[in-house]
Chain A
Amino acid sequence: MIAQPTSARLIDVVREELSENVLPKVADDPAAAGSLHMIDHVLETLSRRVANEIGWMVEEIAGLDALGARVTAEAPAAVKTAAALDALRAVDASALDLASVSERYSAASEVLSCAVEEVPAGAALRADVEAALDARLAREIEIIGDFQLVDR
C-alpha cells in the first residue's frame, strides 16, 4: 500500500481544496455553505482520528482491562464488571484492523461503564474509575478541537 502521504495529510489537502476553491463558489447559498462547514469539521476530526485512533484505543483497552481486574479483585459484588471483563477478554486481541479494535474498544467501554455503576462513591477505586473517564474525555476533546455547532 501507499503510506505516504498519510491519510491525515490527504484529508488536510481535501479540506484546503474545499475551503479555498469550493466554498467561495457557494458562499451565497446558505444551505450549501452550511453543509460545507459541517463537512470541513468532519474532515478535521477524521484527520486527527486516522493519525492516532488505533494506537489510542489499544492503549485504553489495556488500561480498562487492568481497571476491570482491580475492581473484580477488590469488589466481589461487582458482578457486572466481572462479566464485562470476561466478555472483553473473549474478544480476539491479535487483530489490529480498525473494525476489530473498535469491537474490543466497545467491550472495554462496557467494563468502564459497569465499573462506573458498581464502584461506590466512597470506595478507594472510585478515583481510578473517574480518572479513566477523565482520560477518555481528554482524548475526545483533542479530536473535536474547538467544536461549535453551526448556526443553522
Chain B
Amino acid sequence: MEELSALRERLTAFLRAVGATDPDGEVTDLVQLTGGYSLLTYRFDVTSGGGATRYVLRADPPPGQAMTHTDRAQEWELLDALTQTGTVPMPGARWADPQGAVLGTPAIVLDFVDGPSLLAHLNAVDESQQRSVALDVAAAVATMHAAGSTCVPTSFTRPGSWDDYIDGFIAQWREVEASMAERNPFMRWVAQWLETHKPMPAPLTLVHGEFQAGNVMVGADGKPQIIDWEYAHIGDPRVDLGWMQIVGAFTPPDPIALDPMAFCERYCEVSGLTADVVNPLTIGYFAILGGSKPLGAAVQGITDLARGDSRAITSAYLVSALPFSHRLWRDGAAGLEAAMAQVEALMAGAAQ
C-alpha cells in the first residue's frame, strides 16, 4: 500500500508537470491491474475541476524483477505517432515519462478502455457470438496492418528484404536456443523446418509483435482495441496472426480457429492482401516462426532463473510453457505438412 501511495504522489506531480490536470488536480483510485507478464499496469482517475477521467499507466517493473526487457521510449514514440494518425484501433497514448525521471520508472499513460479483455469476452459469450467477434478481430488486425510501415517512426529497424526478415526470425530460434542454460533439440528442429517450408512473401508493414486475445480489449462500443505494443516492429503481418493462433492454443478460444476460412476472408477484405498470401496454412507457418521473439523473452527469464540471476515465480511457471510449445510445434508442423500435401495433390489432380 505504501508503494501505491508513493506512486500516486509521483503520478500526480507528473501529470501536473505535463499539464494533464489543473494544479489542484489529484490522482485517485490508483489500482494495480493483473494482466501481462512483463510490465506493471495500473488504472487511475484524474480528478480535477469537478470531473474525473480514467487512465492506464504502463510502467517498467523494478530492476531485477523484469522478466522481459523492452524500451518504453520507443514504444511511446510509436504509440504517439499512431494516436496522431488515428486509424489504428487502440487506446490513445497521452503522456510518457520514457526515462522515469519523475515517476521513478519508465512509463506511459494511455486512455482507459472500459470493457473486458477479448479473452474474457470470448469466454463469456456463446459460439455464435464468438464467431462474430472473431470477424471484428480480423478487421481490427487487418486495419492495423493496412496502416503500413510509413506510420512507424524512423527509429524502428527497416528489414532489407522479406527474406532477410524471415531469415532473421529463423536465426533468432538458434540464438534463443544458444542462450539457454541447456541445449534444446526442439528449437534446433524448428529452425531447420522453417528454412525448408517458407511461404510466399507478404509486404512488410506495421506488426504488433504480440497480438493475442489477452492484448485486445473490447471497448464500450463492442469493438476491439489493441493494447501492449512493446514488441511492435516492421515485418510480415502474418507474424501477428500466427502468434494469435499459438497463444490461442495455450489459452483458448483461438479467434482464428473458430472459423479459419471466414477469418482469413474478412482479413483479406480489409487488408487488401490475397488468399494465397493469407490463409490457414501460411498462418500456421507463422504460428511457428513468430514464436521466437516472445518465447525468447520467456526463455531469457527461465535462463536467468536457472543461473540464479532472477527469482521471478512467473519464469518458474513458464518452464512448463516450453514442453507445451514443443508439442505445438511438432503437431503443428505435421499438420501443415499433411495439409500442404493434400493441397498439392488437389492441384496436381486439377492440372490433369
User: A-side interface residues toward B, CB under 8 Å?
Assistant: 30-31, 34-35, 38-39, 41-42, 45, 102, 105-107, 109-110, 112-113, 116-117, 132-134, 136-137, 140-141, 143-144, 147-152
Contact = CB atoms under 8 A, between A and B. Distances in A.
Interface SS majority for chain B: helix
Given A148-B251, A150-B317, A109 B184 contact: yes
B327 A42 contact: no
B188 interface: yes
Interface of B: 32, 34-37, 119-120, 177, 182-186, 188-189, 192, 214, 250-251, 313-314, 316-317, 319-324, 326-327, 330
B189 A31 contact: no
8 contacts: A30-B34, A42-B313, A113-B177, A113-B189, A117-B192, A143-B323, A144-B320, A151-B120
Contact of A136 (B37, B177, B185): B185
Given A105-B182, A113-B184, A137 B317 contact: no
Contact of A141 (B189, B250, B327): B327
Contacts of A150: 317
Interface SS majority for chain A: helix
A110 B182 CA distance: 9
B244 to A, nearest CB: 14
B330 A106 contact: no
Q: Which 10 A-B pairs have the closest CB atoms?
A: A140-B323, A109-B183, A38-B317, A106-B182, A144-B320, A113-B188, A112-B185, A113-B185, A110-B183, A147-B320
B152 to A, nearest CB: 28
Contacts of A30: 34
A48 B73 CA distance: 44
A32 B31 CA distance: 14
A152 B313 contact: no
Given A31-B32, A151-B251, A152-B36, A113 B183 contact: yes
Nearest to B329: A137
Nearest to B322: A140
B305 to A, nearest CB: 11
A147 B185 contact: no
A144 B318 CA distance: 11
Nearest to B318: A149
Contacts of B188: 113, 116-117
A151 B34 CA distance: 9
A137 B323 contact: yes
Contacts of B324: 144, 147
**Considering residues B182, B184, B320, B324, which has the most beta carbons from chain A within 10 angstroms of its beta carbon?**
B320
B323 A106 contact: no
B302 to A, nearest CB: 12
B183 A152 contact: no
